[in-house]
A and B are shown apart, each in its own frame.
Chain A
Amino acid sequence: MANFFKDNEDINFLLDNIELSEIIKLKEKNFSEKDEYPYAPQDVDEAMENYKLALDVLGDICGTIIAPRAKEVDEQGARFIDGEVKYADGTKEALKRLAQADLMGFTIPRRYGGINFPKTIYSIAIEMVSRADASLMTLFGLQEIADTIYRFGSEEQRKRYLPLFCSGEYSGAMALTEPDAGSDLPAVSVKATIGDDGKWYLNGVKRFITNGCGDVILVLARSEPNLKGARGLSLFIYKRDDTMKIRRIEDKLGIHGSPTCELMFNNSPCELLGQRKLGLIKYTFSLMNGARLGVAAQAVGIAEAAFREAYSYAKSREQFGNAIINFPQVYEMLLDMKTDIEAARRLVFFTSNIVDLKEGLEELDSENLLDKSLKKDLKKYTRYAGFLTPMSKIFATEMANKVCYDAIQIHGGVGYTKDFEVERLSRDARVTNIYEGTTQIQVNAAIGGVITGVLFDLCEELKEEIEFHDLKEGIYDLKENLRACIDYVKQMDNSEFQQFHARRLVEMGSFIVISCLLSKDAKYSEKKGHIARYFLNKAICKTADYKKQILSSTHLVINLKDNIL
């Protein structure tokens, strides 16, 4: 039977070659729990051994339980019956298995029942689950909610909620979006008011809430009626009771196993998480960044599944007396798919590393344990994570859509039917560049890091580890071109003009970061060297193209809207 960890050479490559000791030491607080819990590691090597062991168990569940039921889950879907959501049978089975395996408290500390793994490993886990069934990721990947309670809740709240999340008894949801507040979250209007009993109550409607039927929902609501915008919002923990009604669930293009609910809160009792007014600007921001990285990993998983389908089909399908994989137009698609998947995985892995370092240092900082130099590091990682997270989501989710598109293309006519997996994968992939912030919203979040030069600082650091001269030169070329574009855009001094080109600039930035990472890895394996060169070559061509487009444009482009639309 398939094991989605063991059969994935690239994931194993990353775990075997990329140094994670700093992350592990931070996460394990120098192995302080080794005598307290029999499953806590003694040292870095044992922690790595534990990660692989857990991923092996998960890989087996993905290959033998989850993936074989994905088609049925897609067909049956989550259903809305008598005001309540019913998961598809396969979804229920998968959740049961994941809980039995102790995999529902991935990043949560051991004292609350979790296994205390870093985000780096969690991202791999999300990828594997998504390869098996993308819709399940929205439940498995919602461990972010427990993580948010851990990071910002009181000790009493942690003790009350986290063990139940870790055991799989509680599932969660985050209720941010409203009918009139989608990308524009500061416009949230669900009200939170204090009742005569001194407790908080929620009123209003939330829409597009993934797993809104969950037991514990983090609700973004306006607690300060006189404060408009983001500063009037707080985050609340709502424990499911009779006061909240699920009005409907959406009939979606894909991820059918994942219920997307419309919720109506009607004097629903809740409790404040953290401090008032920090709901959006601090907690939701943190929650969403975690979720964005999760979606990036989800996209990699879907793409991996689509590539495997396309690859095996191309090898077995014969036309003109030849397997179609031997036709250049077909194998070029497969080359692009494979390269872009490894590129995206590397970027997500690296971003997860940075997020782990950042969060590890933040925890030490909250205990006042950071010296001056570590404080500087924390600042640096925070800046890096700020643009890498949206950049990962853009690259991975757009990549997944392209990979699924080509996977159908390689199948030809049958790919357009339900007899093959690729049509489902394609539908499932389509949401990844929409939810948790569209690609366009991610561009807004990432552009700062590109324009201000933080990205170049990062590349200077990464450059040190690249051993091959030709790769270094190629990356130099990419950087110079991006610099020229940034200078040009800045010199125009027009924010709409900058926004017009922002996506191109961010994409060029992602080419540089990924090229650095792949080139760095080339020293570990010849194959990675080939992949790095293939990727870099394409990146150079696309960057040259973007550069031409940007440098040949003037502020007149923004007038096109009125002239043509």
Chain B
Amino acid sequence: MGFNMIVLMKQVPDTSNVQEGAMKSDGTVNRDALPAIINPEDLCALEEALKIKETHGGHITVISMGPLKAEQALKFTLCLGADKAILLSDRRFAASDTLATSYTLSKAIEKIGAYDIIFCGRQAIDGDTAQVGPQVAEKLGLNQLTYVFEIVDLSKGHITVKREISNGYERAKAPLPILLTITSAANIPRPPSVKKAMAFKKLSAKEPSLVEADFPLQLWDAEFISADPTRCGLKGSATKVKKVESVVLKTREKKEIEPTLSSISSLMKELIHDHIIG
């Protein structure tokens, strides 16, 4: 039996390759100055999905929200073995924070309908928030397993994984459907198939009204996924950038924070005091 899988993917500036002009004077990233790559952990997430497809069979849909030029990155995921890639592109999606992004992605997932596993990279190398995956799970009312570095078993409607925790790992089992966030320790992603790369090189994304339902590279907008425009993009974003400061972290020791209201609140105070957030 096969699994229906969805992989969430983000195109990011290659922050491992930062050169001059990488930041604008207003403190935002100058995306034109950095080469765009697929977020590395998203490729690890896709690799896990591909491994499941190889052993159990199934269907993989990759979804990415981004500008039209993210089409190339989505095409690359087809060359890796994804069956379908969907680019969520609409001017109204621009300048989304994690809240708006997770809303938009969850609407697209609802549009797809049936799924067993949603894969995300743990976090993107540009924002480093690690929020989008968990937020999508919340919005869909799904169980989630984060920081996964190994899928141990997948059978009888359950998945067993190993997830990274501080000082070790935890083995967790959960029923499907589920959302997983995958870390880079999970695998080394495969190279693309050159046969597919040759076959797909001239493919371009098409709106769903113009193609068959299984057309491999599609372009979806806000209407198509029935998204409320006020919850998308800049309008739907709760994050407002006031000012950007360069903060150099000095301490190297780590602290364990108990998940209680009082200790989280004292952590917040400390972080604000140190200008790490605020």
Contact = CB atoms under 8 A, between A and B. Distances in A.
Interface of A: 37-39, 41, 49-50, 53-54, 57-58, 60-61, 65, 97, 100-103, 115
Given A100-B193, A101-B194, A103-B194, 20 more contacts: A39-B194, A41-B198, A49-B201, A50-B201, A53-B197, A53-B201, A54-B198, A57-B192, A57-B194, A57-B197, A58-B194, A60-B191, A61-B191, A65-B191, A97-B190, A97-B191, A101-B191, A101-B192, A102-B193, A102-B196
Nearest to B199: A38
A53 B194 contact: yes
Nearest to A117: B194
B250 interface: no
Interface string B251-273: 00000000000000000000000
Nearest to B17: A1
A38 B202 CA distance: 11
Contacts of A50: 198, 201
Interface string B165-203: 000000000000000000000001011111111110100
A54 B196 CA distance: 10
Most buried by A among B188, B194, B197, B201: B194
A155 B133 CA distance: 52
A39 B191 contact: no
Contacts of A97: 190-191
Nearest to A57: B194
A376 B198 CA distance: 35
A58 B199 CA distance: 17
Contacts of A103: 194
A50 B199 CA distance: 9
Contacts of A100: 190-191, 193
Contacts of A53: 194, 197-198, 201
Contacts of A49: 201
A545 B203 CA distance: 59
B52 to A, nearest CB: 16
A39 B196 contact: yes
A-B pairs, 4 with minimum CB distance: A38-B199, A39-B198, A101-B191, A54-B194
A65 B198 contact: no
Contacts of A58: 194
6 contacts: A39-B194, A39-B199, A41-B198, A50-B198, A101-B192, A115-B194
A54 B191 CA distance: 11
Contacts of B194: 39, 53-54, 57-58, 101-103, 115
Nearest to A98: B191
Majority SS of interface residues in chain A? helix
Contacts of B188: 65
Contacts of B193: 100-102
Contacts of A102: 193-196
Contacts of B192: 57, 101
A58 B197 CA distance: 12
A115 B196 CA distance: 11
A102 B192 CA distance: 9
A216 B15 CA distance: 46
Nearest to A105: B195
A65 to B, nearest CB: 7
A101 B195 CA distance: 8
B115 to A, nearest CB: 25
A550 B197 CA distance: 55
A65 B190 CA distance: 10
Interface string B224-257: 0000000000000000000000000000000000
A49 B197 CA distance: 11
Interface string B190-228: 111111111101000000000000000000000000000
Contacts of A39: 194-196, 198-199
A58 B194 CA distance: 9
A473 B195 CA distance: 47
A53 B196 CA distance: 11
A53 B199 CA distance: 11
Nearest to B203: A38
A58 B193 CA distance: 10
A554 B99 CA distance: 90
Contacts of A65: 188, 191
Nearest to B197: A53
Nearest to A103: B194
B126 to A, nearest CB: 18
A115 B201 CA distance: 15
B72 to A, nearest CB: 13
A115 B195 contact: yes
Contacts of A57: 191-192, 194, 197
Most buried by B among A41, A54, A97, A101: A101
A422 B185 CA distance: 32
Contacts of B198: 38-39, 41, 50, 53-54, 115
B244 to A, nearest CB: 29
A456 B191 CA distance: 46
B234 to A, nearest CB: 35
Contacts of B201: 49-50, 53
Most buried by A among B191, B192, B197: B191
Contacts of A54: 194, 197-198
A37 B196 CA distance: 11
A53 B191 CA distance: 13
B63 to A, nearest CB: 23
A115 B193 CA distance: 11
Contacts of A101: 190-194
Interface in B46-77: none
A60 B197 CA distance: 14
Contacts of A61: 191
Contacts of B197: 53-54, 57
A101 B198 CA distance: 12
B55 to A, nearest CB: 15
A45 to B, nearest CB: 12
